[in-house]
């Protein structure tokens, strides 16, 4: 049993309960005769700002035909999707209501393993306010692959119980500040849940509210993961990193003189093992920022300062 200041826990929950909402959805699915049938779903959300913007998981609302948001005082509003990002599982919806109590977000870069956290949400669609579970941060910078979806990076792992319906709800500290947003559970594991970091939620939500989608920096290469088989077949010097298959004309990589056959092994001093590492590292940066990219070309190493551009594929 972890010794805790009970008063502090109660105050944190009271503070957070005001910005936790329930998100109910209706999705159309086809049966074996191809007839469409409405299917109800339930999740949770966080009041992002007082203007009526709500953040939740992308997987909660991505296929929804109808969305209803229930506030902490029981009022129900229809929600409209502003945008969603499958790569971080963050989405924003808007309700026609202002003056909401917005969440306070903590800097997730300051989180430590062992820190006490509380998970709030609406498991199983139960009424009467959010449900609270408690635990600790058991790991940071975790990576999981959603079923049939992309790999989600930089997740918080916690042993606070995350039940069905908690998706999109906040993970808070003892000050009632949001440190993450619950995103997934592993059903075959005991006491393991995951949350998107608060910094990721804020960055993605801000861009969705501003642009309707996430603006990601673009390097302009097509590449494949290096492995021992490729290294041996082509007699290459290393067996990790990203092998540049082609460089897109007039892209940042093109102007920086990165070439086909180069192997990207570092970005800003961070080691690159595969394409996921490369994308994760680049997506931490903003359009217009410089990235120092180290490549292996033949038997030599070269470093290129690349100014990242906005992807043309949005």
Domain covering 6-29+37-94, topology: Thrombin, subunit H (2.40.10)
Catalytic residue among 22, 44, 85, 89: 89
Give pLDDT, residue 283. Answer: 83
Average pLDDT per consecutive 10 residues, the chain (314 residues; last block may be shorter): 78 95 75 52 92 95 89 92 92 96 95 95 66 93 72 87 86 97 73 90 94 90 90 88 93 95 95 87 89 94 95 70
Whether residue 167 lies in the annotated active site: yes
Q: Which fold has domain 108-211?
A: Thrombin, subunit H (2.40.10)
246 is catalytic: no
Q: Is 251 a catalytic residue?
A: no
Q: Which pLDDT score is estimated for 215?
A: 84
- Considering 22, 24, 44, 59, which one is annotated as catalytic? 59
Q: Is the dihedral of CA 162, 165, 169, 173 positive or negative?
A: negative
Residue 189: what are its φ and ψ, rounded to 5°? Answer: -110, 150
Spell out the domain ranges in the chain. Answer: 6-29+37-94, 108-211, 217-310
Total-model pTM? 0.78
Order of strands, sheet of 90-94, starting from the edge strand that comes earlier in the sequence: 76-78, 64-70, 20-30, 36-47, 53-56, 90-94, 80-85
Gap between the Cα atoms of 66 and 81, Å rounded? 10
The pLDDT of residue 100: 96
Say if 6-29+37-94 and 217-310 have the same CATH topology: no
CATH 2.40.420.20, domain 217-310, yes or no: no
């Amino acid at each position: 049993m972890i010794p805790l200041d009970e008063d502090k826990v109660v105050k944190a929950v009271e503070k957070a309960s005001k910005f936790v909402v329930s998100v109910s959805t209706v999705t159309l699915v086809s049966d074996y005769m191809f007839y469409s049938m409405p299917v109800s779903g339930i999740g949770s959300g966080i009041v992002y700002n007082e203007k009526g913007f709500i953040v939740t998981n992308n997987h909660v609302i991505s296929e929804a035909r109808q969305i209803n948001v229930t506030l902490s005082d029981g009022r129900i509003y229809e929600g409209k999707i502003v945008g969603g990002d499958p790569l971080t599982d963050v989405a924003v919806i808007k309700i026609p209501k202002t003056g909401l109590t917005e969440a306070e977000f903590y800097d997730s870069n300051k989180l430590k393993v062992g820190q006490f956290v509380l998970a709030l949400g609406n498991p199983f669609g139960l009424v009467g306010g959010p449900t609270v579970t408690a635990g600790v941060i058991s790991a940071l910078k975790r990576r999981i692959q959603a079923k049939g979806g992309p790999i989600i990076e930089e997740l918080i792992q916690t042993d606070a119980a995350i039940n069905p319906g908690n998706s999109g709800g906040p993970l808070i500290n003892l000050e009632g500040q949001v440190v993450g947003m619950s995103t997934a559970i592993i059903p075959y594991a005991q006491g393991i849940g995951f949350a998107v970091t608060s910094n990721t939620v804020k960055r993605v939500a801000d861009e969705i509210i501003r642009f309707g989608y996430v603006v990601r920096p673009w390097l302009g290469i097509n590449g494949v993961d290096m492995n021992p088989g490729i290294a041996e077949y082509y007699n290459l010097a290393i067996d990790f990193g990203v092998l540049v298959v082609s460089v897109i004309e007039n892209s940042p990589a093109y102007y920086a003189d990165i070439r086909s056959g180069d192997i990207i092994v570092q970005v800003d001093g961070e080691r690159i093992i595969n394409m996921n590492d490369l994308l994760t590292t680049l997506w931490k940066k903003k359009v217009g920022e410089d990235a120092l990219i180290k490549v292996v070309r033949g038997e030599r190493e070269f470093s290129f300062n690349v100014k990242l551009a906005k992807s043309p594929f949005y």
